[in-house]
Amino acid sequence: MKEFAQAPAVLIFDTFIRVYFSCRPSPDAHGQYLSYTGFVDLDRKNISTIINISRKPILPLGSRGAFDEFGIYPVSVIKHDNQVRAYYGGWTRCESVPFNVAIGCAVSHDEGKTFTRIGNGPVLSYSPDEPFILSGPKIRKFGDQWYIWYIAGKKWILTDTGPEPTYKIRMATSLDGIHWKKINKDLIENKIDEDEAQASPDVFFYDNLFHMFFCYRHSINFRGKNGGYRIGYAFSQDMFSWTRADEKAGIDVSQFGWDSEMIAYPHVFKLDRQVYMLYLGNHVGKYGFGAARLEDYSS
Amino acid sequence: MKWIKLGKIFDPMDHILPNNCREFAQSPQALVYDSFVRIYFSTRMKDETDKFLSHVAFVDFDKTLQNIISISQHTILPLGRLGCYDEHGIFPFNVMRVDRETIFGYISGWSRRKSVSIETSIGLAISTDNGFTFNRIGDGPILTASLSESFLIGDPFVIKDGDIYHMWYIYGTKWIEPVHQADSSERVYKIGHACSADGIVWEKEGRQIIADTLDENECQALPTVLKYRGMYHMFFCYRAAIDFRKNKTKSYRIGYAYSMNCATWTRDDTLAGIDPSCSGWDSEMMCYPHIFLCENKMYMLYNGNEFGRSGFGAALLES
């Protein structure tokens, strides 16, 4: 793997935290990438210290014609019984648009080091109101019920440089994490315009409230600072209706450096009385991910 | 069973077709009206990449199926939008009358891929103008790939039996690596089954319901089912996975299975009662069957050589 460390997702162990992320070999002759997921283990007492890095991807790519033949990214993990389950975006390549994505599921019996698919097809895929690009899964369990927040593609916009997709945050519920019932509505109101692209719906329960950190960008001309990703925020009493309040997110692009043009793909977790956020910087994580610690919280 | 062949009843080259289509009149599917029979079919045009796009059209026949009354010249259902499951074709298109005002049209939608040629999913469009035009219920499909059915969900055929809607469809099981790198992969698919309370939200059974007779790579397609005198009769077509386009011994034949309860099916192709002719339009293969009742007679529509490039024909059940 040569480039990118995207969409960090954390699993907490006794002495370390395992951060899953997606990365890529160099692009092929046509400039196209494959994406794989691996992990890095960080010292629980000091998350700036790297203890271990996975030697190979946690899951091989799908076989010929499968929904996840060209990429496994992003990944969200959860401990369940004695296993670890991973929900991931599986990528394929198309003719009229560059790609499509659907959500797959894999399970690990070795504490999250290696995973096996639970099926060769997706666990969550397209429907009348969600025609393409189902991705960015974030798996959660509250009580006995499973929840998955994800993004669903709305339209492909034709630009000078080819078609660009736009997508919105949605959710589904389940009793077993396998058979899902979609809510079938966009959860987060638009701020930029109706074509705003929203991603990485990271839900976190803290101080009796559901908090969602996510990222959003313009639908076109979004690869630089002006239209690029920022981190957004919304809160909810019941996980189904959300009030957007980006001004409360409390994090913005830096003046200089690796996260000066954009900040994206937030993942928030509680660790030993602190709350951390991992996130991506410029070029959507081409050069790695970073962390922030919650300093001040008021509901 | 024994079928009396009525010969080819429709040749697309004899007519002007809508959407700049010429050639192909595939997977004929009938809807019986008071005074005529409307047969929907898929025909083709080439796009700017020189590949085919399949469009839905219909031809109205009198109830003897001997005289053509008219052919659609308008767009019955436009293809899907950019990036959608049915952007590159609709083939087949299965129609079912729900009530006096409503006809459901089940879409087998095609969308082109890179590493393999194609992906398919099933969608739904509804007609409220008595089958003249159809509108999608959404841009996305109602039935698509799932955990145990990885790709190539297509060929929907729906009936309502009592309160329950049944759909028979096909799902892909594998893409076979080509022997030579330059060749494209060939696909394998099997017939599956799903149920619904409303014809819109479906629950798959999740298993192969018709046993293979050739080998594990047998391809089964276009299931068509009629409940007649308490028994369910299914006709479908089947072929080898490889070398089936020109080789007569591997090309599509009509298969048959029956069931008393819609749950277990007994396959017996010898009971199908219909085979390729010695010569002519249906001598090299027979495919894409559709059975329906009209004025108390049971008919089969089907395609012949080159998968229906030159039209479709009919047969009448003798007894």
Contact flag B49-A95 (C-beta cutoff 8 Å): yes
Residue in A93, A95, A117 to test binding to B, most B beta-carbons within 10 Å: A95
Q: Does B187 touch chain A (CB under 8 A)?
A: yes
> Mean pLDDT over all residues of chain A?
94
| Average pLDDT score over residue span A206-224 | 92
pLDDT at A137: 98
What count of Cα atoms within 13 Å lies in the side-chain half-sphere of residue B184? 9
Q: Is B239 within 8 Å of B226 (Cβ atoms)?
A: no
Chain B, nearest residue to A163 by Cα: B82
What is the interface pTM, i.e. ipTM, of the complex?
A: 0.95
Judging contacts by C-beta atoms under 8 Å, the chain B residues touching residue A127 are 138, 140-142, 144
Return the amino acid letter for B190: K
Q: Which pLDDT value is given to residue B137?
A: 98
Are residues B29 and B95 in contact, defined by beta-carbon separation less than 8 angstroms?
yes
Question: pLDDT > 90: what percent of chain A?
Answer: 81
The model carries a pTM of 0.96
Cα–Cα–Cα angle for B204, B210, B213, rounded to 5 degrees = 150
Inter-chain CB proximity B187 and A65 less than 8 Å:
yes
Phi–psi pair at A72, nearest 5 degrees = -125, 95
Q: Cβ of A128 and B124 within 8 Å?
A: yes
CA dihedral A155, A158, A161, A163 (to 10 degrees): 30
Residue A299 has pLDDT above 60, yes or no: no
Q: What is the pLDDT of residue A147?
A: 98
**Residue percentage of chain B with pLDDT more than 70:** 100
Contact A128, B199 (CB under 8 A): no
Chain B residue numbers with beta carbons less than 8 Å from the beta carbon of A64 are 115-116, 175, 177, 185
pLDDT at B24 over 80: yes
Determine the residue among A127, A130, A168 to mutate to test chain B binding: the one whose Cβ has the most chain B Cβ atoms within 10 Å. A127
Q: Write out chain A residues lying below 8 Å of B139, CB-based.
A: 128-129, 131
DSSP string, B42-90: EEEEE-TTS-EEEEEEEEEE-TTS-SEEEE--S-SSPPP-TTSTTTTBE
pLDDT at residue number A296: 79
Of B87, B137, B175, nearest to A128 by CB-CB distance is: B137
Q: Is residue B182 predicted with pLDDT exceeding 80?
A: no
Give pLDDT, residue B260: 96
Residues of B in contact with A122 (CB under 8 A): 145-147
Give the closest of B82, B116, B177 to A97, CB-based. B82
Inter-chain CB proximity B146 and A97 less than 8 Å: no
pLDDT score recorded for residue A298 = 65
The more confidently predicted of residues B177 and A58 is A58
The gap between the terminal CA atoms of chain A, to the nearest Å, is 41
pLDDT confidence tier of residue B184, bands split at 50, 70 and 90? confident
Query: What is residue A223's predicted lDDT score, i.e. its pLDDT?
Result: 86
Q: What's the rounded mean pLDDT across residues B131-139?
A: 98
